[in-house]
Amino acid sequence: MAVENNMDDELDQVSAEAMQIIMSAGDARVSCNDALKAIAEGNVESARELIKKAEGQIAEAHHVQTDAIQGSIGGETQAYSLLFAHAQDTLMTVYSEIHMTKQLLLIFEGYEQRIRTLEEKIAK
């Protein structure tokens, strides 16, 4: 019975960590999507702020994952959890979304600069 309770405690801990990762990554995804909307509207400053916010939120998720992995390396036993695997997948997907949003912002800024340069040439 003690082994069963210990296993339940391990699963509860892994589930709690997984949910923290999913929630922080989800918050980062929302901020990232808001940054994309700001880019589409031409609001570069707002997009930068939202990307920075998303990076902070994804860092929180990454910290939880790192702690869990370090615990495992340190000898803490962890039962396999499909929820934790999903959390890690979500974390990595949102990392990619943030990266792509940052690249889109750079592309948008480049096009904006080119347009300004052309407008200045036309105005002369």
Q: pLDDT digit string (tens) for 50-64?
A: 999 999 999 999 999
DSSP characters over 12-62: HHHHHHHHHHHHHHHHHHHHHHHHHHHHHTT-HHHHHHHHHHHHHHHHHHH
CATH architecture of 2-123: Up-down Bundle (1.20)
Which of the 8 DSSP states describes residue 80? -
Instruction: Give the pTM.
Output: 0.83
Q: pLDDT digit string (tens) for 10-29?
A: 667 788 999 999 999 999 99
Give the DSSP H/E element, type plus range, for residue 81: none
Q: Where are the domains of the chain?
A: 2-123
